[in-house]
Amino acid sequence: NLSDKLDNAFHVLKGHGQITEINVAESLKEVRRALVDADVNYKIAKDFTNTVKERALGQDVLKTLKPGQLMVKLVKDELTQLMGGEAEGINLSGNPSVILMSGLQGSGKTTFSGKLANFLKNKKTKKPLLVACDVYRPAAINQLHVVGEQVGVEVYSEEGNQDPVAISKNAIAHAKENGHNVVIIDTAGRLAVDEAMMTEIKNIHDAIEPHETLFVVDSMTGQDAVNTAKAFNDRLNFDGVILTKLDGDTRGGAAISIKSVVNKPIKFIGTGEKMDAIDIFYPSRMADRILGMGDVVSLVERAQEQYDEEEARKLQKKIAKNAFGFDDFLNQLQQIKKMGSMKDLLGMIPGAGKMLKDVDIDDDAFKGIEAIIHSMTPGERSEPKIINASRKKRIAKGSGTSVQEVNQLLKQFNQMGKMMKMMQGGGGRKMMQMMKG
Ligand code: GDP
Ligand code: MG
């Protein structure tokens, strides 16, 4: 899937100490391939990677923790921008506010009309009215009535009337009389873009001048979604896009392409068949989803703010020489604490959240450790080997802990030293064996 592919792309960068023009180009080629595979239009993907490339080469990358992570961040930021930057709401300033749904048959208009009615109704200040303007199939009118019943919203329909313009106008009058401050008009779509459908939706649009015209599109239709969006936008100049069927592992590429081609904000997404499966569209969350890396990007950002590269280099040397002592350990603890609460940090690492769910990680847990280390002499800190029984007793007393706790810390510290050496030697497999016990 897309995130595996991007992983591969960034893998290329991991072996390098710095970003060079060559390895940036190499990894961005992979990014581009991954985007195209996710249904992003080729030209858009290409423009996108070119922009990221310029940014990457323009940055002072040597100061960053890891070039690969900087690239992840750049790609994510750029992707977020491409999808609109900020979340955008819908215009509810009218009384009533009229919202017109458009889109192909099967895109999810009727379902989304119900979801939106439900979403607004839950805001308490809104009293929506659903309007059935898919007049050619009795089943369609019925479907809207079922949806309306599910969410407890009134549905306006006219039996036997096949003029959607007249029905819309009557519905708006009905809304005014009955205190509905939002009118959601569900319309007919066809299986493909054709003149009859376009004329009809355009006629409704021109007659009622909605406050908000929404184009509903099935995100699973890939490249077709873009062409359809363009056709509707050319005629309707709609205000926003609704991306449906983004549940499961649907690829999000359509979001990127549509936004770039019609330059209209994506406002909501549909994530299931149920009436509560609706979400406001947040570009940065969508970028996360597309990149499939949870909140790892913000972890990177925080690390970049707090971590001193020079410190890290010194530390690595010490570990290699077996000279990593308690002072260094204390330093590390402080670095970690500066980055934020342990739980937060661990929660941001993909997979770790689940693993650590049952483990109680408490920021206070560090306090005892710090007290013990503070009670050590400088000699003891740099050479923990010399800590014998009488020193342990003194340290325990000074830190208000027990000899047992001091012992535990010394043991943990020893294990940590071993692990760090292994990681340095690239002994990932050895470490896994050790952890398995
Ligand atoms: P319309 O022809 O545009 O009115 O489309 P419908 O609202 O009737 O939806 C067509 C089909 O897609 C129905 O079976 C819906 O249950 C389904 N559907 C709509 N939105 C979503 C969604 O967000 N996720 C999933 N999984 N199915 C959806
Ligand atoms: Mg429908």
CA–centroid distance, 108 to ligand 1, in Å, is: 4
Question: ∠415-423-9 over CA atoms, to 5°?
Answer: 145
Look at 93 and 430; give whichever has higher pLDDT. Answer: 93
- Looking at this protein, which amino acid is placed at residue 357? K
Q: Which of 93, 130, 151, 119 is closest to 267 using CA atoms?
A: 119
Judged by DSSP in three states, 55 sits in: helix
Can you read off the two tokens belonging to residue 46?
């290409």
pLDDT digits (tens, 9 = 90+) for 139-149: 999 999 999 99
Q: Quick one: pLDDT band at residue 35, thresholds 50, 70, 90?
A: confident
The bound ligand whose nearest atom lies closest to the alpha carbon of 106 is: 1
Q: Which CATH number belongs to the domain containing residue 174 in this structure?
A: 3.40.50.300
The top-scoring range by mean pLDDT among 85-89, 378-382, 430-434 is 378-382
Q: Where residue 56 falls among pLDDT bands split at 50, 70, 90?
A: confident
Under the banding of pLDDT at 50, 70 and 90, the label for residue 311 is: low
Which structural domain range is residue 371 located in?
Answer: 307-436
Q: Which two tokens stand for residue 428?
A: 């990932």
Tokens (6 digits) for 386: 């010399």
Mean pLDDT over 291-302 rounds to: 48
The pLDDT assigned to 298 comes to 46
Average pLDDT, the chain: 79
List, for residues 406-418, the tens digit of each pLDDT value: 998 888 788 777 7
Is residue 45 very low, low, confident or very high in pLDDT (cuts 50, 70, 90)? confident
Instruction: Measure the CA–CA gap between 36 and 165, rounded to whole angstroms.
Output: 41
Same domain? For 106 and 254 the reply is yes
108 CA distance to ligand 2 middle (Å): 7
Binding positions for GTP? 103-110, 186-190, 244-247
Cα dist. 146→117, 132, 143 in Å? 13, 12, 5
Give the model's confidence band at 427: pLDDT under 50 very low, under 70 low, under 90 confident, else very high.
Answer: very low
What is the structure's pLDDT at 53?
83
**For residue 73, what is the domain's CATH number?**
1.20.120.140
For 411, other C-beta atoms within 10 Å of its C-beta total 10
Q: Which pLDDT value is given to residue 307?
A: 47
Q: What's the structural domain count of the chain? A: 3
Per-residue model confidence (pLDDT) at position 240: 96
Tell me what pLDDT residue 269 has: 93
In this prediction, residue 375 carries a pLDDT of 93
Residue nearest to atom 12 of ligand 1 (CA): 108
**Contact (Cβ atoms closer than 8 angstroms) between residue 242 and residue 270:** yes
Ligand 2 centroid, distance to 179 Cα (angstroms) = 25
For residues 65 and 214, membership in a common domain is answered with no
**Which of 52, 86, 120 delimits the end of a domain?**
86
For the chain, helix (H) and strand (E) counts, in that order, are: 21, 8
Protein residues with CB under 6 Å of any ligand 1 atom: 103, 105-111, 189, 244-245, 247, 270-273, 277
- From the list 371, 406, 295, 373, the residue with the least C-alpha distance to 340 is 295
In this model, does residue 302 exceed pLDDT 60?
no
Highest mean pLDDT of the ranges 41-45, 147-151, 381-385? 147-151
- On whether both 75 and 120 belong to a single domain, the answer is no
Residue for token pair 């080997």: 385
Q: Are residues 124 and 250 in the same domain?
A: yes
In this structure, are residues 163 and 134 in contact, taking their beta carbons and an 8 Å threshold?
A: no
Q: 124 and 63 in one domain?
A: no
**pLDDT-wise least confident of 70-74, 102-106, 212-216, 304-308:** 304-308
Dmax (CA) of the chain? 97
Which has more pLDDT, 152 or 32? 152
Q: Residue 221: which pLDDT band, with cuts at 50, 70 and 90?
A: confident
Share of the chain above pLDDT 70, in %: 71
Q: In this structure, are 111 and 80 located in the same domain?
A: no
